[in-house]
Amino acid sequence: MKFSNTLTQAISLLSLGLAVEGSGINIQRDDACHPHRPFRPMPPSHPRVKTCHVENHGNGVDDSKNILQALHQCNNGGKVVFDEGKTYTIGTALDMTFLKNVDIEILGTIQFTNDTNYWQANAFKQIYQNATTFFQLGGEDVNVYGGGTIDGNGQVWYDLYAQNPLILRPILMGIIGLKGGTIGPLKLRYSPQWYHFVANSSDVLFDGLDISGFSTSKNTAKNTDGWDLYRSNNIVIQNSVINNGDDCVSFKPNSTEILVQNLHCNGSHGISVGSLGQYLGEVDIVKNVLVYNISMFNASDGARIKVWPGVSSAMSIDLQGGGGLGSVSNITYDTMYIENVDYAIEVTQCYGQSNLTLCNEYPSNMTISDIHFNNFHGTTSKKYEPLVGSIVCSSPNVCSDIYATNIDVESPEGTNEFACTNVDKSTLAIDCV
Ligand SMILES: *[C@@H]1O[C@H](CO)[C@@H](O)[C@H](O)[C@H]1NC(C)=O
Ligand SMILES: *[C@@H]1O[C@H](CO)[C@@H](O)[C@H](O)[C@H]1NC(C)=O
Ligand SMILES: *[C@@H]1O[C@H](CO)[C@@H](O)[C@H](O)[C@H]1NC(C)=O
Ligand SMILES: *[C@@H]1O[C@H](CO)[C@@H](O)[C@H](O)[C@H]1NC(C)=O
Ligand SMILES: *[C@@H]1O[C@H](CO)[C@@H](O)[C@H](O)[C@H]1NC(C)=O
Ligand SMILES: *[C@@H]1O[C@H](CO)[C@@H](O)[C@H](O)[C@H]1NC(C)=O
Ligand SMILES: *[C@@H]1O[C@H](CO)[C@@H](O)[C@H](O)[C@H]1NC(C)=O
Ligand SMILES: *[C@@H]1O[C@H](CO)[C@@H](O)[C@H](O)[C@H]1NC(C)=O
Ligand SMILES: *[C@@H]1O[C@H](CO)[C@@H](O)[C@H](O)[C@H]1NC(C)=O
Ligand SMILES: *[C@@H]1O[C@H](CO)[C@@H](O)[C@H](O)[C@H]1NC(C)=O
């Protein structure tokens, strides 16, 4: 009923000549998913019938009050516009989890202030891995698009982090508790840390994100993951270009029913499951993930699965853990082109543990099963030559049904060896050494 009402309204709006473009009417969210469809149909968007333009002060003056005002005015069936040619400044942590049936059209530029003291005290604490976010956007049926720019003003953070690795650098896009939404097209620039943290969310499509931002000083932009998904279900990420310095996409604990397709990743750590099993007493689940048609350039990995062994250890001040429980299952990587990538495929159940004897003595409490690597081609970097990949389980008992087919990957010198440990080689059509 709701469906046909909404459709009727949309058609009547169209016949009145009103703009409904990008309003995410029904079916469109799913229709935008190509060539694979989401694991579950996404819920419909309701029509938007009013428009609010956000006023800006200019000159770096905080526009947060204007933004909140426009969002409240046009919430429940409207569209909030950030006008073309204008730069909006945000110097206040905005809680936007009250949104419902609203579109946010960003045509201009939004920039966050570089007041590192303010943001360290006020950015939203998301607890997991000490993550903090500039804002949190959530609610129900929210579309953010327009092709404009969201700029995290990250340089000051890259420089500060080089002095103190424990500072809390805000994540550019905090998508927290969003049920139904489309994010993109948008340009995302200079995030202080990860570009997206997507938590407690479901039925969200990320489509057409252009991500980039490099440091201009000697201090590189670190941990600039494209997406980190956490406690989220039925998410699609597609048609995006990512130039960054850490995971292109990362599936953290309890990411389920995730489709990632048509990405161009450069400079990253690949498309990663994990790390998982880092925290004793916690249960991490990642299952039903399809990663299709990825081009991966200048990266440490193409497809990667990293879980901690069954014993705690400390690699460094900000990398310690192990012993957590859970499982990684039904993960498919299909069609990946690699160029100058250190390992085309890397699976490890000994993450964060340099002593492999110890890892085998304490096999991971995170099982890995039903994993498919299909249709890889391209050339690795020289880094691990003659190896082009590595599949290391901590015990055959906790790793099963791992398949590799049509893996046409070579090192610059033409070798194609994989390091395989504690894994059934009969389902791996690769050259295990
Ligand atoms: C997600 O929801 C849980 C349960 O309601 C809550 O404890 C948590 O703070 C929320 N946010 C994140 C980032 O996990
Ligand atoms: C979180 O912050 C605390 C306090 O600064 C620190 O001890 C801990 O190592 C941090 N954890 C992570 C995962 O960065
Ligand atoms: C902070 O940002 C302002 C405006 O973008 C810029 O003029 C200033 O140089 C920046 N300060 C630092 C310390 O980066
Ligand atoms: C694969 O992704 C690229 C963008 O990275 C796109 O141009 C191409 O059409 C996609 N191929 C298929 C079969 O969808
Ligand atoms: C791709 O990544 C490399 C290595 O990080 C970097 O030097 C290069 O500038 C990136 N390319 C683009 C288009 O950003
Ligand atoms: C993940 O899901 C498992 C199984 O439902 C649950 O036990 C665990 O608490 C969840 N973890 C988080 C961080 O939500
Ligand atoms: C496993 O993932 C595939 C997509 O790669 C999906 O079609 C299938 O339904 C999933 N299996 C289960 C049991 O959910
Ligand atoms: C990969 O890195 C090299 C060297 O930095 C750069 O010339 C090339 O453009 C990068 N590839 C892509 C796709 O950005
Ligand atoms: C690695 O672990 C084994 C087994 O616990 C231990 O005997 C050995 O000393 C460890 N090696 C190093 C270099 O710590
Ligand atoms: C976790 O793994 C360790 C080492 O393999 C094992 O001794 C322990 O029994 C496991 N714990 C659980 C709850 O499975």
In-domain check, residue 217 = yes
Kindly report, residue by residue over 18-42, the tens digit of the pLDDT. 334 444 444 578 999 999 999 999 9
| E strand intervals along 27-93 | 50-53, 78-82, 87-90
pTM: 0.94
CATH number (domain holding residue 248): 2.160.20.10
Q: Quick check: is 2 in a domain?
A: no
Q: Ligand 7 centroid to 288 CA: how many Å?
A: 5
How much is the pLDDT for 2?
A: 34
- Is 372 an active-site residue? no
Q: What is the dihedral of CA 310, 283, 204, 235, to 10 degrees?
A: 50
The per-type count for the chain, helices as H runs and strands as E runs, is 6, 29
**Strand 209-212 relative to strand 186-189, pairing:** parallel
What residues form DSSP beta bridges with 418?
389, 432
Element at 104 (helix H, strand E): strand 94-106
DSSP H or E segment with residue 45: none
Does residue 311 belong to any structural domain of this protein?
A: yes
Residues of the chain predicted below pLDDT 50? 1-26
pLDDT at position 254 is 98
Domain-located, residue 23 = yes
Counting ligand 8 atoms within 8 A of each CB, the residue from 297, 341, 381, 383 with the most, and so the one to mutate, is 297
Q: Whose CA is nearest to atom 2 of ligand 7?
A: 288
Q: How many domains does the chain have?
A: 1
Residue 396 lies in a domain: yes
pLDDT at residue number 320: 82
User: What is the per-residue pLDDT for 353?
Assistant: 87
Atom of ligand 6 nearest to the CA of 254: 1
Ligand 9: which residue has its CA nearest to atom 12?
A: 355
Predicted confidence at residue 354, as pLDDT, reads 85
Cβ of 1 below 6 Å from ligand 2: no
* Per-residue pLDDT tens over the stretch 247-305: 999 999 999 999 999 999 999 999 999 999 999 999 999 999 999 999 999 999 999 99
For the CA of 311, the closest atom of ligand 10 is 4
Q: Where in the sequence is the domain holding 359, given as residue range(s)?
A: 7-432
Give the pLDDT score at 12: 36
The preferred substitution site among 312, 315, 356, 357 for testing ligand 9, maximizing ligand atoms within 8 Å of CB, is 357
Among 34, 36, 57, 269, the active-site one is 269
pLDDT at 22: 44
User: Pocket residues for ligand 5 (CB within 6 Å)?
Assistant: 212, 243, 266-267, 298
User: For position 28, what pLDDT does the model report?
Assistant: 78
Q: How many residues does the chain have?
A: 433
pLDDT at 19: 35
DSSP 265-316: EESS--EEEEEES-STT-EEEEEEEEEEEEEEEEEEEEEEEEE--SS-EEEE
Q: What is the pLDDT of residue 134?
A: 99
pLDDT of residue 318: 65
Q: Judge whether 1 lies within some domain.
A: no
Tokens of 258: 């995730």
Q: What is the pLDDT of residue 8?
A: 37
